[in-house]
Amino acid sequence: MLLAQKKEIETLLANNRSEIETGKLRVLLIDECHLMWGDAIGYVWGKTDQEIAVPVVNERDKQTYYGAIDYLERKLLLKAYDAGNSVNTIDYLRYLLGESPNQRLLIFWDGASYHRSKEIQGFLDEINQGLSTDQWKIHCVRFAPNCPQQNPPIGYLVTS
C-alpha cells in the first residue's frame, strides 16, 4: 500500500505541475495538533530554529489547532478550534477556500476518522457537485496509514 500510495501522490503532483506552478492549484499539507491542559510541550507548525509561542485559549480543557502548509509557498494557515471533528474540519476547509480565491485545492492529510466521515464526504460532494475530477474545488488525498515517510512532522516540511 505504501508504494502504491507514494506512486499515486507522485503521479498526481507530476500531472498537475503546471497548474501548481501557475497558482491555479494550491497544494496543502494538513494536520491537527491537540494541546491538553498541563502540557509543557506540544507540536507546533513552524521553523525548528525559532521559538514559537502559541496561546492556549481554553486552558482548562484542550486546544486544537488545524494547520496547513502551502507546498509551493511554504506559508502556514493556522486556525484554533475546541476539538478535532467533522464540523470543525468543514469549517477549516471553508476557511482554506476563502484564503485561496480562484484556486482549486489539493489537500494531503492523514486518515483521521473525521477526515473520512459522512459529513466530510457530503461537504466535498456539495462543493464539487457537477465538476469533473480534474476541476474539483477540493481534492483530498490520504497519506498511507502509519507512514512517517509520507506524513512527516510539519516542522520538517517548513525547514527542509
The CATH number assigned to the domain holding 101 equals 3.30.420.10
Place of cell 491537527: 32
Along the 160 residues of the chain, how does pLDDT read in single tens digits?
567 778 888 899 999 999 999 999 999 999 888 776 665 555 556 677 777 666 655 555 678 899 999 999 989 999 999 889 999 999 999 999 999 999 999 999 988 889 999 999 999 999 999 999 999 999 999 886 655 555 554 444 443 3
Place of cell 506552478: 21
Structural domain span for residue 64:
2-159
pLDDT given at position 119: 97
pLDDT given at position 69: 93
Count of beta carbons in the 10 Å neighbourhood of residue 83:
13
Q: What is the DSSP string of 13-75?
A: HHHTHHHHHTTSEEEEEEEEEEEETT-S-----S-TTS------SSTTSEEEEEEEEETTT--
Domain count, the chain: 1
Q: What is the DSSP string of 72-96?
A: TT--EEEEEESS-SHHHHHHHHHHH
Under 8 Å CB-to-CB from 13, ≥6 apart: which residues?
A: 20, 27
pTM for this entry: 0.77
